[in-house]
Amino acid sequence: MTEEKATSAAVSASTQKLLHDNVSHFFSEFAKKYESHMSCRAGCSCCCYTDLTVFVSEAAEILRWFFSQTDVVKKELVENWKQSKKAGPDAAGNLQKPCVFLANNRCTIYEARPTICRSQGLPLLFRETNLKTKETILHVDYCPLNFVEQDSLPPRAEWLDLDRLNTLQSLASQQPCPVFSELKDFRLHELCNKDRRVSLRRLSDELAKRADIT
């Protein structure tokens, strides 16, 4: 599947789930092709040493997934999220606190993980415009653990267009936000910061406080 197909299919359906599925599919096809140049695997978690904020629709997907779990699983998850976790090196070797959802080098919300987590490890294309000259410069960003051999980076046509992905993600987040009866009087929008994004840490705190998991 090409990068364009991966993202254009998501526009028409306009659902967060479809966008997630498309990005994951794109990643797995890409990783199959470039396996020998990529270190991405279960248990490699340096890219999870970060404190993410996500779109409201992504936070809603996490809640939807969480409330579909059994009470035992929900309780285990919340207990885990409440534990304080040690800082560790990110992929660039800088010491960072881990994502609240990381445990034993695994993502505890893997099926509902945000879009950005599904694209980690891919070459990501983004643009920067020089305000003076108005010239647009293309950049590529990728995990320093991947494509370490000289000239191993795939050609530009294979990179994931981060700007386009962000646009699709914004569209997906414009869908009406579902109300979760399990969270009583709480509304997800209340967690948004000024950029209308939700901190994963705050989301986990609210779940621990409000979800009925006794």
**Residues of this chain that bind ligand SF4 (CB under 6 A):** 39-40, 44, 46-48, 50, 52, 91, 99, 101-102, 107, 109, 113-114, 117, 120-121, 143, 145-146
Q: Can you tell me the distance from the alpha carbon of 142 to that of 49, in angstroms, rounded to the nearest whole number?
A: 15
CB 1 within 8 A of CB 9: no
Nearer of residues 11 and 201 to ligand SF4, judged by Cβ: 201
Q: How far apart are the first and last CA of the chain?
A: 45
In the complex, what is the shortest distance from the CB of residue 53 to ligand SF4, in angstroms, rounded to a whole number?
11
Tokens of 212: 């009925």
In the complex, what is the shortest distance from the CB of residue 198 to ligand SF4, in angstroms, rounded to a whole number?
12
CA distances from 98 to 53, 81, 94 (A): 13, 11, 12
In the complex, what is the shortest distance from the CB of residue 93 to ligand SF4, in angstroms, rounded to a whole number?
11
In the complex, what is the shortest distance from the CB of residue 20 to ligand SF4, in angstroms, rounded to a whole number?
12
In the complex, what is the shortest distance from the CB of residue 69 to ligand SF4, in angstroms, rounded to a whole number?
15
Nearer of residues 11 and 21 to ligand SF4, judged by Cβ: 21
10 Å CB burial of residue 15 (0-12, 13-18, 19+) is middle
Nearer of residues 129 and 193 to ligand SF4, judged by Cβ: 193
**Under DSSP, is residue 127 helix (H, G, I), strand (E, B) or coil?**
strand
Strand-pairing partners, residue 55, are: 197
Nearer of residues 11 and 103 to ligand SF4, judged by Cβ: 103
CB 213 within 8 A of CB 74: yes
In the complex, what is the shortest distance from the CB of residue 54 to ligand SF4, in angstroms, rounded to a whole number?
8
Which helix (H) or strand (E) segment is 103 a member of? strand 102-103
Nearer of residues 11 and 153 to ligand SF4, judged by Cβ: 153
Nearer of residues 48 and 125 to ligand SF4, judged by Cβ: 48
Q: Can you tell me the distance from the alpha carbon of 63 to that of 77, in angstroms, rounded to the nearest whole number?
A: 12
